Structure 1
């Protein structure tokens, strides 16, 4: 770990002792940031549905050599479905709960993503953002955990982190956490079971029909590969939002909610077409200040946050494979006292 990384890590810990409260930041935001606009919300739905339909039309007519571009476009447009479901989960899509739940289930259904399972666990992430051993979105692997694992699991950790496999992270996360209702409190299990039943029923009907009409290749072409592109973006957004060599995960005794949301959430700019199709989910700091801010107001809120709280914000970055290489090269294991450590440095120090 470099000296600058350690200094940044220690500086963030010092910020964690600040008396700043999340309510102070929320009060500084323009009231317009929290206003729900039915026209804007449903325009987002119309845009996503139109772009997904365009994507599937392109898969039908595209010659074989253009299929990769069509898969990338369609999968990215499907990610817009998730972002709308994301608003529904935070009740910022519509004022009526039943509308949020209905749209959330319908829009996440083709993604095979159980709405209530994700909603409940994602809210836990917001309550414990970058809290060591608590945050459930992308918790770093501690050296203690790594050393306590067997050889096979250690190999799995190394393969996942060193060989650029971050893009399957959300698939593993969903499969392990979102279909197991025993992980939830009893009061939530009925809702989780319902959401799991919805996506299982969708898959049980849609997949056989797709295979019967287009064959196994049609299933791969029209569902599997766009779905993998969607998970590439899901995994990438989640990783980049809260992971950098100088972004700390802080023990509960030192954790400050306001600082965690400001300094532990990274703003990353993506190509404009990705930001449009994904409804500005990359403008993520305001969303962590208040989940009540709809996606179409995130840029307005971020402008206010930069104006009033710039000192606390992490440096912005721009998406590139060099950025992903830097994260996946350095952010391997984690020590509470010094931050991230690469496997190379870990084994060199043993």
Structure 2
């Protein structure tokens, strides 16, 4: 097992033999990690609603100099609502599809996310994890593809791969989740429904909030917690798949079991973040099987460490880790996994 606490410790990862199937890995997990427990699931819902309400109430009563702390707390609690919707999208919240869809839509409403478009696009990510030019989550550009982009696209890519990584989730949200015309058949109808639910709620809700709270109140209670939520979305998903020793593979070289077991990262965050975000950082078992509810991820991870520990990559969250990723993981290189823009420009001269 590769357990790394320093961002300079990017060792080459071992990968399971290509003959190992994903099913072989799943079969080593205890059967109870796939069991849905309604009490645990609904407790997570109550916990997240309570924490968001607590944050909002504190924002209304707290002096100005404590507001940044409460924006961070409330935005992180909103991320917990997303994780509940995340379970619903994978049908691991309830055995009833209509319950998953209802809770998923309601969980996603406060963060202005169309549920079905996210669900379908996220399923694509799981089916093609770390498949170069196919995965839709932090898929890195090769130097050749980068060169073919427009100047504006190049500039945007450099910002989102660098110091503005925290804004990438906002761009991802706005760019691909509201256009139902990119979907076909029944999926198009589902996505259109989710988009219209979100837009209708925003058209009704935003004016009411602006009238009752004013412009500053809207920023204070809505915009800034929402941006903190997207900070965590960007950070979690970045670290899940974008450290220097994680490989993306071309279609003809891609292997499902290698991608899901050794192409994802477990990262330990401060305990309060893990509680508010329902252990979404325990990411490797989630890629082994999306059927594992979030409250069983830690047990599943311990099993993977016991049986497949040599192939796991684990980090501890730190700002130096983020700095290391945003300094190095820019353009994808077939030999070194990544190269920085700085090295790329040096080689071009």
- After TM superposition, the score normalised by the length of structure 2 is 0.95
Measure, in 2, the Cα distance between the counterparts of 1:194 and 1:152. 33
SS in 2 for 1:240: helix
* Kept after mapping to 1: 8 A contact 2:166/2:234: yes
1:325-336 → structure 2 map (5 Å cutoff): 325-336=323-334
Q: In the alignment, which residue of structure 2 is the partner of 1:192? A: 191
* Kept after mapping to 1: 8 A contact 2:266/2:284: yes
How far does residue 41 in structure 1 lie from its aligned partner after superposition?
0.3
Q: In the alignment, which residue of structure 2 is the partner of 1:141? A: 141
Q: In the alignment, which residue of structure 2 is the partner of 1:170? A: 169
Measure, in 2, the Cα distance between the counterparts of 1:156 and 1:295. 33
* Runs of 4+ off more than 6 Å: none
1:248-259 → structure 2 map (5 Å cutoff): 248-259=247-258
* Kept after mapping to 2: 8 A contact 1:105/1:195: yes
How far does residue 253 in structure 1 lie from its aligned partner after superposition?
1.2
Q: In the alignment, which residue of structure 2 is the partner of 1:295? A: 294
1:1-350 → structure 2 map (5 Å cutoff): 8=12, 15=15, 18-162=18-162, 164-314=163-313, 316-350=314-348
Residues 139-174 of structure 1, C-alpha deviation per residue, up to 9 Å, x if partnerless? 012111111123232222223323x11111111111
Residues 21-59 of structure 1, C-alpha deviation per residue, up to 9 Å, x if partnerless? 000011110011000000000000000000000000010
Where do 5+ consecutive residues of structure 2 fail to align? 1-8
Q: Looking at secondary structure, tell me which structure has more helix per residue.
A: 1
* Kept after mapping to 2: 8 A contact 1:125/1:136: yes
Measure, in 1, the Cα distance between the counterparts of 2:221 and 2:213. 9
How far does residue 336 in structure 1 lie from its aligned partner after superposition?
2.7
SS in 1 for 2:136: coil
Residues 251-274 of structure 1, C-alpha deviation per residue, up to 9 Å, x if partnerless? 111111111011110000000000
- After TM superposition, the score normalised by the length of structure 1 is 0.95
Measure, in 2, the Cα distance between the counterparts of 1:267 and 1:57. 33
* Kept after mapping to 2: 8 A contact 1:110/1:202: no
Measure, in 2, the Cα distance between the counterparts of 1:106 and 1:155. 36
Question: How many residues align structurally?
Answer: 340
SS in 2 for 1:292: coil
Measure, in 2, the Cα distance between the counterparts of 1:245 and 1:333. 11
How far does residue 17 in structure 1 lie from its aligned partner after superposition?
5.8
How far does residue 109 in structure 1 lie from its aligned partner after superposition?
0.6
Residues 261-290 of structure 1, C-alpha deviation per residue, up to 9 Å, x if partnerless? 111100000000000000000000010000
* Kept after mapping to 2: 8 A contact 1:251/1:336: no
